[in-house]
Amino acid sequence: MEIIKKALDEGRKMLSEHESKQLLTNYGIPVTKERVVMDIEQLKEAASDIGYPIVLKAHSPSIAHKTEKNLIRLDLRNEEEAVEAFNELMQIMEGADKAVLVQEMIKGPRELVVGLTRDPQFGPCVMFGLGGIFTEILKDISFRIAPLERHDALEMMQEIKTHKILGEVRGLPPADTDTLADILIAVGRIGMDNPEVKEIDINPLILDGSKPVAVDALVVLEPRDPHPSI
């Protein structure tokens, strides 16, 4: 995969958020509408195309944890707010490759997490669970070894303690479990197809009504040993 090769050739061990989502898109996983911009004119054009409200995030191949570093501006409702937030982020960031990711604002009270980790013994393993700020607190997750069949993906959804969040709750429509299953299967396929992918973290995967959308994503890489021991 060209995105992965380019990052490894540059000596990087992770993809940027935008690159990570490009990889997900190649496997049919729904992601936010977004665009990388480097100046005010590009910002205005992107915001106009995407439509307000928008989110701005600091964008650089070396930035992983944007929330902890105060590098995200949410729910910007007009050009004035967007320009102010853009200038703030560009001032905070360092380096020649700094830019800003302009992203549609996805709202939904139900946040999920989907991930992949490469186990030394079992190989790529897919994870599903409750996302957002509750991922670390509750650790309500389920695992399967890739590749996944559809029944594996559907079982994973029922195994988390909070599985009722996927049903019709408080006036919200039931989650599109078919699309969720497709996402879990696709994440497993990414791990099977790309041995350089060490981890995938899609968090949050927000239910926009019933439809899951990857709002943030991170792919961690590990170069393959060209001379593995026998």
Q: What is the pLDDT of residues 52-63, one digit of tens each?
A: 999 999 997 766
The answer for residues whose C-beta is within 8 angstroms of residue 136's C-beta and 6 or more apart is: none
pLDDT at 144 exceeding the cut of 70? yes
The whole-angstrom separation of Cα 90 and Cα 107 is 25
The token pair at 58 is: 């600091």
Supply the pLDDT for residue 135.
76
Mapping DSSP onto H, E and C, the string for the chain reads CHHHHHHHHCCCCECCHHHHHHHHHHCCCCECCEEEECCHHHHHHHHHHHCCCEEEEEECCCCCCCCCCCCEEEEECCHHHHHHHHHHHHHHCCCCCCEEEEEECCCCCCEEEEEEEEECCCEEEEEEEECCCHHHHHCCEEEEECCCCHHHHHHHHHHCCCHHHHCCECCECCCCHHHHHHHHHHHHHHHHHCCCEEEEEEEEEEEECCEEEECCEEEEECCCCCCCCC
The answer to whether 43 and 37 have CB atoms below 8 angstroms apart is yes
Q: What is the pLDDT of residues 103-132, one digit of tens each?
A: 999 999 999 999 999 999 999 999 999 998
The answer to whether 195 and 4 have CB atoms below 8 angstroms apart is no
Residue-averaged pLDDT of the chain: 93
The token pair at 1 is: 């995969």
Q: For residue 68, what pLDDT band results from cuts at 50, 70 and 90?
A: low
Any idea how long the chain is? 230
The whole-angstrom separation of Cα 79 and Cα 44 is 7
The answer to whether 182 and 205 have CB atoms below 8 angstroms apart is no
Count CA atoms closer than 13 A to 40's CA, side-chain side: 8
What value does the mean pLDDT take over residues 209-223? 96
What value does the mean pLDDT take over residues 159-180? 95
The model's pTM is: 0.92
